[in-house]
């Protein structure tokens, strides 16, 4: 059964565009007012909270070979009026990507799209440039090299928010990484706070049940073995 499932998804990826594949992984029970389709990633956006709820994208070994450089062209989505780049000025928070720029380096349109403000959430600089980035690098350099094709969902835990000027600042973030080939996942939860430089990512590993309890979302993965990813 596992082999058949893997073959099905790999064939689907080969013979259709990646958005059709990504749609299969949109979590249930989402409170997003808008499901936004960009080049090679999807964002669920909650207009009432003016925050992305989640982003979904596909990463493959081939895509990590991309050479397109960051554009840093932060821009608003014309359909979503509540969030702009200027709202971050003077807040002390970074514009934190849910779908990261480096993972879109295989395609110019995707690179530009990932700087849309609906893909951005306020992150403490130490988190954005530190352990959050550390996991992004680990996914590129280790996980996808071992597991070939990954579905990655990142998001905010927005049941409790801090108001900083015009920004709603989430207190926590999550990331789920799913191996299509092997039908295995691993999850992480981050506090939007300061982390020591040598803090281990292993301390942040959680099951999807914990993430579901925190987010009220329902994810379509079942097999959980953190040792499988080490």
8 A C-beta contact, residue 35 and residue 46: no
Whether the per-residue pLDDT at 171 is higher than 60: the answer is yes
Q: Output the pLDDT for position 19.
A: 82
- Whether 49 maps to a domain, the answer reads yes
Domain that holds residue 74: 2-165+216-222
The pair of structure tokens assigned to 113 is 């799209």
Whether the per-residue pLDDT at 181 is higher than 90: the answer is no
The CA–CA distances, whole Å, from 171 to 1, 70, 111, 121, 157 equal 39, 27, 27, 11, 7
The CA–CA distances, whole Å, from 130 to 97, 123, 137, 191, 198 equal 13, 11, 11, 12, 10
- Whether 64 maps to a domain, the answer reads yes
For 7-63, what is each residue's pLDDT tens digit?
555 554 443 457 888 999 999 999 899 999 999 999 999 999 999 999 999 999 999
- Whether 158 maps to a domain, the answer reads yes
Spatial distance between the Cα atoms of 149 and 146, rounded to a whole number of angstroms: 9
pTM of the model: 0.90
8 A C-beta contact, residue 63 and residue 92: no
Q: What is the mean pLDDT of the chain?
A: 90
Q: For the domain that residue 152 is a member of, what is the CATH number?
A: 3.40.570.10
Tokens 């295995």 label which residue?
184
Higher pLDDT, 184 or 89: 89
Total number of domains in the chain: 1
For 186-208, what is each residue's pLDDT tens digit?
999 999 999 999 999 999 999 88
């Amino acid at each position: 059964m596992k082999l058949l499932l893997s073959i099905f998804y790999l064939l689907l990826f080969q013979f259709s565009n990646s958005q059709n594949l990504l749609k299969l992984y949109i979590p249930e029970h989402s409170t997003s007012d808008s499901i936004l389709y960009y080049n090679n990633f999807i964002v669920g956006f909650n207009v009432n909270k003016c925050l992305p709820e989640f982003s979904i994208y596909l990463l493959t070994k081939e895509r990590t070979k991309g050479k397109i450089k960051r554009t840093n062209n932060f821009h608003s989505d014309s359909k979503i009026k509540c969030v702009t780049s200027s709202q971050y000025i003077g807040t002390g928070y970074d514009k934190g990507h849910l779908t990261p720029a480096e993972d879109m380096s295989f395609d110019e349109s995707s690179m530009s799209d990932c700087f849309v403000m609906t893909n951005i959430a306020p992150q403490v600089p130490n988190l954005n440039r530190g352990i959050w980035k550390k996991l992004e690098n680990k996914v590129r350099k280790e996980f996808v090299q071992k597991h070939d094709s990954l579905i990655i969902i990142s998001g905010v835990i927005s049941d409790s928010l801090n108001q900083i000027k015009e920004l709603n600042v989430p207190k926590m973030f999550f990331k789920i990484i799913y191996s299509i080939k092997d039908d295995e996942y691993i999850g992480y939860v981050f506090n939007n706070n300061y982390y020591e430089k040598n803090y281990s990512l292993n301390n942040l590993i959680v099951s999807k049940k914990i993430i579901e309890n925190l987010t009220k979302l329902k994810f379509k993965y079942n097999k959980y073995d953190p040792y499988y990813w080490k």
